[in-house]
Structure 1
Amino acid sequence: MSGQQPRPSGLRNPEGAVRGLGAATLGLEALVLLIGIQPIRALGTELSGATMGLLVAVAVAAVVLAGMMRRPWAWHAGTALQGVLLLGGLLHWSLLALGVIFALVWAYALHVRRQILGPTAG
């Protein structure tokens, strides 16, 4: 025990906790995107095939990335996924709204990751 550095977060497994946060964030995003299809249609706006395809593709990518949070590049891919959703706002305004919300949530998850794992958490 004398050779180990103290854990500033107090967590037994800080890496696992951070991975869980990232996976939960992406899983929630996928769920909201898929469940959100019907309310968007209920607003009276018709979703194009491209918009529906983008919604499903981003949701599937979020689920896949949630399962790959052990890999350091998955955090960068999650950030890129938020950018894709924001760009989806060009297809439908609701994608922009969801993109802004989840980009803010993802930014907070990255902030927590940096606070727990330190500035070297890539």
Structure 2
Amino acid sequence: MIGPEENATSSETTPAAAGPRPSGLRNPQAAVRGLGAGTLALEVIVLLLTIAPLSVIAGDRSGPAITAVLVLAGAAVVIAGCMKRNWAWGAGTAVQVLLIAGGFLHWTLAAVGVIFGLAWAYGLHVRRTILG
């Protein structure tokens, strides 16, 4: 049986008393990198799927809008592969800003940019929460 003295010492060694609670992940950096890369990969798929509707509904302005989609999709692929680098998170944020700015070419680019900008902001929040 555990006496009151032993019980008091065992409660002092719990993780809650030791400091902030760990995330519970075996490799938190890899999990966060996967989140960022997965978000960018999904964005690439959606961007490439917007080419067909853009060619129909953008009319005369479809050329610059499709070029912007292809450039941003290519940049997102490269950034997703470089998520181990510290600059990749800033570059991913820049892709979201540029996609929203693409709304000057066609409003659908801004709509996709807002949706993925919110997803990216959530990813940044999760990164900050897990890694500190």
TM-score scaled to structure 2, two decimals?
0.80
Q: Given the alignment, which residue of 30, 39, 58 partners 1:16?
A: 30
What are the ranges of 5 or more consecutive residues in structure 1 without an aligned counterpart? none
Per-residue displacement from partner, 1:73-96 (whole Å, max 9, x unpaired)?
A: 000000011010010000000001
Amino acid at match of 2:73: A
Residue aligning to 2:10: none
2:91 is aligned with 1:69: no
Contact 2:72 2:95 in 1 (8 A): yes
2:131 is aligned with 1:117: yes
Residue aligning to 2:69: 55
Residue aligning to 1:79: 93
Q: Could you tell me how far apart the structure 2 residues matched to 1:45 and 1:107 are?
A: 28
- Residue pairs, 1:89-108, within 5 angstroms: 89-108=103-122
Q: Could you tell me how far apart the structure 2 residues matched to 1:31 and 1:7 are?
A: 36
- Bigger drift between 32-41 and 91-100 goes to 32-41
Amino acid at match of 1:116: I
What are the ranges of 5 or more consecutive residues in structure 2 without an aligned counterpart? 1-18
Q: CA deviation at 1:64?
A: 0.4
Q: CA deviation at 1:7?
A: 6.6
Q: How many residues align?
A: 113
2:75 is aligned with 1:39: no
Contact 2:58 2:106 in 1 (8 A): no
Aligned CA-pair RMSD: 1.6
Which structure has greater helix proportion?
2
Amino acid at match of 1:77: A
Q: CA deviation at 1:40?
A: 3.4
Where relative contact order (Cα < 8 A, 6+ residues apart) is larger, the structure is: 1
Q: CA deviation at 1:15?
A: 0.1
Q: Could you tell me how far apart the structure 1 residues matched to 2:21 and 2:87 are?
A: 24
